Amino acid sequence: MSASTETLFRPIRIGSLDLPNRIVMAPMTRSFAPGGVPGPANAEYYRRRAEGGVGLILSEGTVVNRPASRNDPGIPFFHGEAALAGWKGVIDGVHAAGGRMGPQLWHTGAVKSFLTAWEPDVPVESPSGLDAPGVARGVAMSEEAIADTVAAFAKAAADAKRLGFDTIELHGAHGYLIDQFFWAGTNLRDDRYGGATLRERSRLAAEIVSAVRAAVGPDFPIILRVSQWKQQDYAVRLAETPDLMTDWLAPLVEAGVDILHCSQRRFWEPEFPEIDGETGLNFAGWAKKLTGARTISVGSVGLSGDFMAAFGGENSVSVGLGGLIERMERDEFDLIAVGRALITEPQWVAKVRAGESAGLRGFDAKALAELV
């Protein structure tokens, strides 16, 4: 291990979670679970990344028990006997390889898949029946539907702990259901789940976190993925200032979040350059500073180009890790999530640790189906 990468391989403990290094496998939807049930191929996919030395694996988005919680038929469930048995096989394989893992618990809300024209059998649900500002799709959720959704997340988290997972992540980013409640453009409600402020619109997320905390106990780590940008609009910013970011994130940490997974399209971009300059703190850095929570940064690590462009057909090549190392050395954030680079290179972590990063491959979305 070279001195330059040593900071990536420091152990860390968060609640009951012991990690041997600071590298996280980011959740990446591949839609490879026919009928919503993960099978041996899924288990093999995650086992190989555990064997490669990833500190923490976060699963692809896996949906909670709501009638229209997914937007693609290949997305796995995290409910039902068959799906949970499949996930048991996944976590057992990861543990046998010495890894740690958590499922990402998800509800896609009103968002359409960009991979398929598939539609669920019942109307999709969202805060106000909108996919994006001014774009109607599906139905607005009743308070009963909201209560059932909160319960579904809590049940999935409890099942994850029962199956032996080491943590869970709640998907509250990228314009999906929880994020649609955050976003003023898609949350037009005039009840207690809406409001003029970001703090008010965060009520659903806070209730989900509180319910999950009650379901898993005090020491089981809860991760919440958040983002400023939405796939419906890359330029959206929920919090334009540090004070607004505190109003948004601090109540969620108080509700029980241990780790904020702060999604950016490019991790090296400063969140508030008008305050600390072009090399200032990124999203995860500001979130850690403002809330005191542990944070994960993510966004095109080890590759040129962001992931949305890659899945649009733009190839990415491997790039150096110098900027990441500098930020990790000053503890700007606690963990770094790696996505596409780990799809292409299951041994990415081992190669970086061995100083073989010059030989790492780029990413070609066209080859995705061939990668295990």
As a whole number of Å, the end-to-end CA separation of the chain is 26
Of 120, 118, 116, 87, which is closest to residue 104 (Cα–Cα)?
87
Q: Is 283 within 8 Å of 297 (Cβ atoms)? A: yes
Of 69, 99, 103, 62, which is closest to residue 220 (Cα–Cα)?
103
**Tokens standing for residue 188:** 């037009």
CB within 8 A of 265, min separation 6: which ones?
A: 229, 234, 299, 300, 306, 307, 308
DSSP-assigned beta bridge partners for residue 125: 139
Separation of alpha carbons 84 and 288, rounded Å: 33
Residue labelled with tokens 């994960």: 296
Q: Residue 283: enclosing H or E segment and its boundaries?
A: helix 283-291
176 is catalytic: yes
Separation of alpha carbons 203 and 60, rounded Å: 25
Q: Using DSSP, state whether 194 is helix, strand or coil.
A: coil
Instruction: Cite the beta strand spans of 182-338 per DSSP E.
Output: 222-227, 259-263, 294-298, 335-338
Amino acid at 98: G
Separation of alpha carbons 131 and 125, rounded Å: 9
Catalytic residue among 46, 176, 193, 234: 176
* CA R_g for the chain: 19
Residues marked as catalytic: 176
